[in-house]
A and B are shown apart, each in its own frame.
Chain A
Amino acid sequence: MSTAVKDTHAGVRSRRQGQFGQVMHRLRKNKVAMVGLVVLLLLILMAILSPYITPYDYAKTSKANRYALPSWEHLFGCDAMGRDILSRIMYGARASLWLGLMSTLVATVVGVLLGSLVGYYGGKVDNIVMRILDIIQAIPGMLLSIAISAALGSGIGNTILALSIGGIPMTVRLLRGSILTVRKQEYIEAAEKINCSKWRVITSHILPNSIAPVIVSVTMGIGNTILQAASLSYIGLGVQPPTPEWGAMLSEGKSMITKYPHLCIFPGLAIMLVVLCLNMLGDGLRDAMDPKLKN
């Protein structure tokens, strides 16, 4: 299908919109992916509105309600300090989603910049950047995150940084591979022949045609990052209480898991729900963007 490219700029643009439209059209037909998308949007809405819609103050402690089991008053029960778990989960969506989105975004933006650089220029640039990435990738991701967050201290900004650095090499590799394939196609040669600037070739021709695998990996990456953040708070790093964050809630509740399982079950389910939805959406996107699967 790539041979159907027109060599005028306007043509490329309209085709791109057409491609986008096609992808959206195919995505819309995928019920599973749409369910994932809708639930995600609802969760994001909940996170934005949480200061106004939580049933209780997420930080309000109460001696009487310690470890209260789920009831009509407290649908998800209360934690070790008598705080309403539902309110904390609703409010915690802000930190958790923000953390997942931002870390993945940072990793993706840096990754795409580097990826298009090395993918297009190749040669020395490629060699140097890829060796630097080898260095980062050779350090186990979890350990790198732990070391970086130990170096920077806890807090949401530092956690985002710690989690995103490990994700950069993957994005670069994906994009680089994809660009190398696209670059060999005739239409890129055509664009180069008609004296398009390098920058223009990269942004208007190469990137749009090679970004699909990155978009898919981003959707899946967000979920992974939320899980990683949960693991970081399990060992005492990452976002620290009292800011509610699902991972931190899990780790706070973990010492009670056999006695008051509801402290862990609900934040655990919340994380699962998001990761599940993101994966459903990611699968759908991959199918929708894959020209071979076009029916």
Chain B
Amino acid sequence: MKKVLSLVLALIMVLSMASFAAADQGASVVVGLAGDPGNIGPFQGMGLGRIGILFTTYEMLMVKDGSEFRGCLMKELTQVDDLTYDVELYDYIVDAAGNKLTASDIKFCFETAKADGNLPKLSSVESVEVMSDYVARFHFTALAAGDLESLLMECPIVTQAAYEASADKMATDPVTTSPYQVVDYKTGSTIVYKRNENYWQKDELLPTTSKHNVDEITFKIIPDPVQMVNALKAKEIDISAAIDGSYISDFMGVEGFDVTQIPDNTTKYLIFNYDSIPSAAERQAIAYAVDVEDIIAFAFDGIGYHAKTVGNNKYPDFVEAWNDEEYYEYDDEKAQALFAEAGVTAGKTYRLIYNVADDNTRIATTIQAALGDYGINVTLIPYDNALFGTYKYDDKKSGEWDIMLDEGGSSNLLTNVWKLTLDARDQTYDKTVGHVADEKLQSLIEAAINDNSAENMDAFHQYLKEQCYEYGLVSKVNNLAHTTVVTKAATCFRGQILPGACEY
């Protein structure tokens, strides 16, 4: 028996070593995060978990505040010529280690990020030239509409001194200019930030992303969706953007909780494979046959709205008039007529590929059921994330699918959503992802990308809609559920929670 007791005691000792002291009481907030940020260093690619902590960890030259672009580290932007811009920094920026941020750090960051190759957008930055202590001159190779802003927002900025002082390229312990600094990172579990008392910027000049209304922020990684709900119910976390739609009613109008709904920047859409569905009537028939309201009900618990184009309607270059247009609303008669016109008869089979996720599975199943009403079979081909990301753009795989369920969004412009799949120049095989080689489509998208005037945008949208090469399904809505510790939730333009900007 003694042996048993001593073993139990030893176990308890092991356990207490593994545990750590509870966080100090004070103004603090715990954010539930579904994705794992992994490497939190500055020059990493944009994984799902990373977006959630990006603006708490880093500051960029520019940010988007609501719908407006503004400088964060940058004080002034001056155009020199078409492809050359001068960026002037505030002259009193210091990072948490006390290093002064100057133009040479900007050059260092963009060059390092470009060399690491994780932020591919930066390839259109030809070079950065140091003009004076606080002025850096950017030379670009090409700039389409909206590119300038997205490039200046893309790269997190740190001082060269701090970056070089870090043993692991800041993968676990970044020292930044942001008002919050990482004090503890248990990979796969929690990241704790404390407010930097010597933060550089004056309160009246703060962009939303740099606000710091709370002393301490903890991000808690909870991969299981039910456990996210449970953690919020037990008030172990204060706020989460990853509460499953069907649980929202548990927090809406419930004592001690509140819900804020914010449109997400991503939209689900269908891409038709031109090689196997060359007939426009057939593509249109499928669009008419699918009831998007059913998809919203089944996959998003009624929270979301039918897209009006391939992309949502919150982008500045979205044309308001499209909101009132007809966009393939469910119409049984038209679908039947168009299927007949295209010569599609019962017994036909489509292969639908998608990225495995609960909502995608339900969308795919809804489409399967909808086309089943016309006697058309749909074979579902789900792929895991890494695989879908690869196959989506793989020319050799294009013979294995007829319809692709995809999702896209951009941080600034609708044209950037279109560019992902509809611009042949961005593919390795000179066709769109849907294998369309249509010169008219290509010239229209190039025009819209170069100049996103309402006229150019409308021309492309109307042609795309008429041909139905791709069909926008649902624009998602983010549910921010939180305890009443948070009085007002705030998000960045990517729909992620900004804990520092929330009100308490």
Contacts and interface: CB of A to CB of B under 8 A. Distances in A.
A285 to B, nearest CB: 35
B454 interface: no
Given A59-B372, A237-B384, A258-B226, A66 B250 contact: no
Contacts of A150: 384, 387
A272 to B, nearest CB: 20
Interface in A144-163: 150, 153-154
B247 interface: yes
A81 B247 contact: no
A60 interface: yes
Given A63-B297, A80-B362, A81-B365, A257 B380 contact: no
Contact of A242 (B229, B247, B250, B365): B365
Majority DSSP secondary structure for residues of B touching A: helix
A153 B247 contact: no
A63 B225 contact: no
B369 A59 contact: yes
Interface string B334-369: 000000000000000000000011100110011011
Contacts of B383: 153
B365 A61 contact: yes
A255 B365 contact: no
B146 interface: no
B369 A240 contact: no
B189 interface: no
Nearest to B386: A150
Nearest to B230: A258
B45 interface: no
Interface in B355-412: 356-358, 361-362, 365-366, 368-369, 372, 380, 382-384, 387
B225 A66 contact: no
Contacts of A193: none
A242 B356 contact: no
B244 interface: yes
B298 A63 contact: yes
A241 interface: yes
Contacts of B225: 255
B246 interface: yes
Interface in A215-257: 236-237, 240-242, 252, 254-257
B384 A61 contact: no
A259 interface: yes
B298 A241 contact: no
Interface of A: 59-61, 63, 66-67, 80-82, 150, 153-154, 236-237, 240-242, 252, 254-259
15 contacts: A59-B372, A60-B369, A61-B294, A63-B297, A63-B298, A66-B297, A80-B298, A150-B387, A236-B356, A241-B361, A252-B361, A254-B226, A255-B225, A255-B244, A258-B247
